[in-house]
Structure 1
């Protein structure tokens, strides 16, 4: 974006797409991975950051958040029951710290993705998406960005966020630059967006920003965009979008920025069925780079593709997030069944092929506008898993610990 003009992701860029080893994740089997929480699906994870962008560590554990829902029924229904879950991580061992918020604290009926930053005063600013309205009889799709700033408590009783903090709306689509995200009906992948707030402090001037998955007007309805907002005197204001998918894609989800070698890398993820037409490009992590937060941006690898699922397993992972150390985390989605769209399959078949836990972590290499991805080696994984403890059957779920595949946030 130069002078308020957003970058555009176009058909010309998609024409440069190619399946290469440097942009393709290794194959894995989603339902075969060890579950962090046996009774809950987990997806869309992110670290609680310190204000310098590093992952926050409390009592020897990294703090993380993820979306969660009971692991029952059709996996696609999890979005209608989503809650934010607080997790601790020590090496390859994860500790469940329970729901982040009290029941009914959110102004929405569901809690969708966001980000979190630990402040110097001992509070944690949690930015998340309130979907629907509290108490509604059936799920609707109004979306707004909420901030709550609870005190972090860490003592002999464990780690938790105080339950008395206010939850206040800080951003919503303006209905002009960004289309209103207030539809009464819909489904994931088929609704307008104003969600997934990603916090970012610009090292150039020290100012805080939020990025959000958004929608802009386009004649054929494929309106994906990345919104930008900045904070002044405690209030957030919308700015022009950083990026618009120019009639080629409906959703640019989980936008976030990483600064590396003095360049800004804007990442987002999207699914193959949200392209126009569907399956025009793969489910994957995509990105652009620029010399500053506001541009001018150019697509990574010419096409924007950074990381894709392998063609034989096109839905194995999703919701990638690039950490400042260039590790890439995601969740295990669906194992492929030839000729079957598991999103619309019967509940038993979909559940049997769903991962619902953390996917193997990858490493990203950045060189200007060129990227490549590599898996964490087995030797690294084995070192990370040393000392792993399995959860005991008599241990409360809120304190169970389990091993994960890969090692998000590590500095191997």
Structure 2
């Protein structure tokens, strides 16, 4: 029988981990999961309020999705992408039904990074331009162009791709523009963006790449007018708009896509390309893709698209997508996420902030929240790594699996989390912050 120590010994002897210095690692063992809970090989259970990497939207081991993968594996476990396959077509049709009538095709990839790679490729081929603009507070994946489009520190040692420039997106709590209101932040951020477009040479810019809501960067809610203003600038200068919904899509915001959520994009402006990945099937099988507008898809009716992947539209992944979207519809999971955010998580997190001065700001929607942790609410000085480490230790000791980034604690349970589990998690958070307060 496996134990935590056996698993750790295997891992440390043979596994090379992402984004890490390997010698000092002590990873948490995860052996199984169901719903919102996971457990290790010794039987210790945790509430998974990380959703692993903010992607287990339908919860762990959802029986309908597991059954669909098993059934497909018994019929056709793999097929080359050049062939037509029913389950692949059904997966694409279901995704397009959620994206809306402006979109005509889905190009499947292996994950979110190569989804962004291929969206960038499509934008360059369609416009005949080269440059891609993205924000400094962003993450788009760890492949050639995707990591250079990323704005955070991970870009710097990986800057091998050409044709990328960055700008500051709006962030009212930590404004780069000395704004005093969200409305002012949006106006000034749009002014800054237009200045970057002009300064970089508008005629050289193929696309503007934005996350639906910047996720890893801190669940940064777009201020009023942001989406409409970005769309207007793209139209003015002939630039395509790519929205990266890898983290924010498929229920996370209480809507199928963040760009469709009326609180985020009340004008309902529509992007040209949408990228997706792990949220579409909770990461049960690796998959991603690009949702392509009718007009861009038509560009490749006679022009060869010079891109492809062996596992594009893999049947096990496609089966998991079909089952996930069907289950989300049948069980009202997306609506449930919206309701929990509005009635339980949002109010509960704001109540925590009233009790604990370390919580400088609460941001979020649906089951997509972040607590911005500070040493002083007036200066908004971020807490350091030691404080985050101590908080994570307190949470794990109480059976809560956290997701932390920089000075933030992200509160991102599965969309299927129950109100009772949310209340239990809020109580644990209260205890952990209280321990740090003293």
Q: TM-score, normalised by structure 2?
A: 0.26
Computing the radius of gyration over CA atoms, which structure comes out larger, 1 or 2? 2
Name the one with the larger helix percent. 2
Name the one with the larger strand percent. 1
